[in-house]
Amino acid sequence: MTTLADYLNQHATNPALNDVITTVTDVGKTISQLLRKGALADILGEAGNQNVQGEDQKKLDVLANDLLLDALAKNAHCAGVASEELDDATPANDDGSLLVLFDPLDGSSNIDINMAVGTIFSVLPYERQGQTSENSDYLQAGNKQLSAGYLLYGTSTVLALTIADKVVMFSLDPETSDYVLIEDNVQIDADTSEYAINSSNYRYWRAPMQQYIDELIAGETGLRGRDFNTRWVAAMVGDVHRILCRGGLFTYPFDTKYAHKAGKLRLMYEANPMSLLIERAGGGATDAINRILDIEPTDIHQRVPVVLGSKNEVNYVKELHVNYSK
Ligand code: AHG
Ligand code: MN
Ligand code: MN
């Protein structure tokens, strides 16, 4: 049996990174316990406020955010924290060498119906050690991430993590409270017949995305010549986890539903960490055309269209978009 602590000792060459990953995953244990108690812990329902993105916050969005923020602020290696739920990044310890970014609770609409939710995190290097960190310090492309991962609070709690060049998974043992290694080299098949998209937004998509989904729905009667199946968890963590387990394509594409947004998902808290995991497991991750990990961010809360998963399928979506714009 290999625990997360064993794995980090054996594989992470950076002790500071070990330490912040341990802090985040320890908080994950607390969030997991609260979720197990559910309504009995008075954690369900609305918090009564909106976040910087204009979204209604759930009690658990706020609670998970505060737990992570408090724990990371005490970590000497953490120079600052940026969260989907906070207007601005919060400086932590000026001498720290790492910045931690997170979506404290992904899939908020699932909380009150007892469905899967998660926590997504990303770690970036801090280049101005000794000085107080600011929003601009976080504006680094996803390819600079030192580590990324998520906790999925599902029927069991699972941690997917990438340090160095591998993606690994751990399961939280509720009896010992240890994360135990269950997969030591996750790989995604290049081909798939499963896809995830919120089709109710069809009329807001661009023509090549409409064409792509039309082709999948036509199945064996269309030019793809085989049937496809839809799965949609409504929490990116759940959909990405399924893809790491058995392949698939997940997309939240560009849409014109809200004029000022390029897509729904957030580059720094969702798209970048998930893209790092997916690429390191052999999959692809684009905004339909360009590699997500190469996007130079201009705002910590910016949004981006996302197409990720089995490589051949991600490339096919790209082909449709490139051909359309020719
Ligand atoms: P969050 O709960 O952090 O705001 O993120 C929810 C995201 C993502 O997890 C999921 O894929 C998507 O929103 C669900 O969108 P729909 O509301 O369109 O189903
Ligand atoms: Mn989210
Ligand atoms: Mn969230």
> Which alpha helices (DSSP H) does the chain contain, by range?
4-11, 15-37, 59-73, 207-218, 236-246, 272-280, 311-325
In whole angstroms, give the CA distance from residue 121 to residue 103: 7
Mean pLDDT estimate for the chain: 96
Nearest CA to ligand 1 atom 3: 106
Extract the tokens encoding 164. 């160095």
Task: Specify the pLDDT at position 29.
Answer: 98
**Å from CA of 245 to ligand 3 middle:** 22
Task: Specify the pLDDT at position 200.
Answer: 97
User: Quick check: is 189 in a domain?
Assistant: no
Task: Specify the pLDDT at position 261.
Answer: 81
- Contact assessment for residue 160 and residue 169, using Cβ atoms and an 8 Å cutoff: yes
One domain for residues 11 and 151:
yes
Which listed ligand is nearest to 104 at the C-alpha?
3
Position 12 confidence tier, pLDDT thresholds 50, 70, 90:
confident
Position 82 confidence tier, pLDDT thresholds 50, 70, 90:
very high
Overall average pLDDT of the 282-307 stretch = 98
Instruction: For the sheet with 194-196, list strands across it.
Output: 229-230, 194-196, 249-252, 306-309, 284-286
**Å from CA of 270 to ligand 2 middle:** 6
The predicted-structure confidence for 137-160, as pLDDT tens digits, reads as follows: 999 999 999 999 999 999 999 999
Task: Specify the pLDDT at position 262.
Answer: 82
Task: Specify the pLDDT at position 236.
Answer: 98
**257 annotated ligand-binding residue:** no
One domain for residues 177 and 219:
no
In whole angstroms, give the CA distance from residue 7 to residue 273: 20
In whole angstroms, give the CA distance from residue 304 to residue 94: 30
- Contact assessment for residue 267 and residue 321, using Cβ atoms and an 8 Å cutoff: no
CATH number of the domain where residue 91 is located: 3.30.540.10
One domain for residues 46 and 133:
yes
**198 annotated ligand-binding residue:** yes
One domain for residues 234 and 137:
no
> Is pLDDT above 90 for 313?
yes
One domain for residues 117 and 254:
no
Residues near ligand 2 ion, CB 5 Å cutoff? 103, 106
Pocket, ligand 1, Cβ cutoff 6 A: 55, 84, 103, 106-109, 198, 234-236, 252, 264
- Structural domain boundaries, residue 306: 194-325
User: Quick check: is 188 in a domain?
Assistant: no
Overall average pLDDT of the 71-91 stretch = 97
Nearest CA to ligand 1 atom 14: 234
* Cβ neighbours for 145, distance < 8 A, ≥ 6 positions apart: 122, 123, 124, 272, 273, 276, 293
Q: Give the residue from 183, 204, 238 where a domain finishes.
A: 183
Sheet strands (E) in the chain: 46-50, 56-58, 78-83, 90-91, 98-106, 117-125, 147-153, 157-163, 166-173, 178-183, 194-196, 229-230, 249-252, 284-286, 306-309
> Is pLDDT above 90 for 52?
no
Task: Specify the pLDDT at position 218.
Answer: 98
User: Quick check: is 214 in a domain?
Assistant: yes
**109 annotated ligand-binding residue:** yes
pLDDT above 70 covers a percentage of the chain that reads 100
Domains in the chain, number: 2
Task: Specify the pLDDT at position 315.
Answer: 98
The predicted-structure confidence for 244-278, as pLDDT tens digits, reads as follows: 999 999 999 999 988 778 889 999 999 999 999 99
Task: Specify the pLDDT at position 243.
Answer: 98
In whole angstroms, give the CA distance from residue 16 to residue 126: 12
Task: Specify the pLDDT at position 115.
Answer: 96
Task: Specify the pLDDT at position 226.
Answer: 98
In whole angstroms, give the CA distance from residue 281 to residue 187: 4
43, 131, 139 from 271: Cα distances, Å: 27, 28, 14
- Contact assessment for residue 126 and residue 137, using Cβ atoms and an 8 Å cutoff: yes
Nearest CA to ligand 1 atom 18: 198
The predicted-structure confidence for 26-49, as pLDDT tens digits, reads as follows: 999 999 999 998 878 787 888 888
Max CA-CA distance within the chain? 63
Task: Specify the pLDDT at position 182.
Answer: 98
**Å from CA of 9 to ligand 2 middle:** 30
Extract the tokens encoding 205. 């998509």
Q: Give the residue from 158, 183, 208 where a domain finishes.
A: 183
Overall average pLDDT of the 175-183 stretch = 97
Position 326 confidence tier, pLDDT thresholds 50, 70, 90:
confident
One domain for residues 178 and 240:
no
One domain for residues 29 and 154:
yes
**Å from CA of 220 to ligand 2 middle:** 34
User: Quick check: is 23 in a domain?
Assistant: yes
User: Quick check: is 15 in a domain?
Assistant: yes
User: Quick check: is 38 in a domain?
Assistant: yes
Atom of ligand 1 at shortest distance to CA of 107?
2
User: Quick check: is 85 in a domain?
Assistant: yes
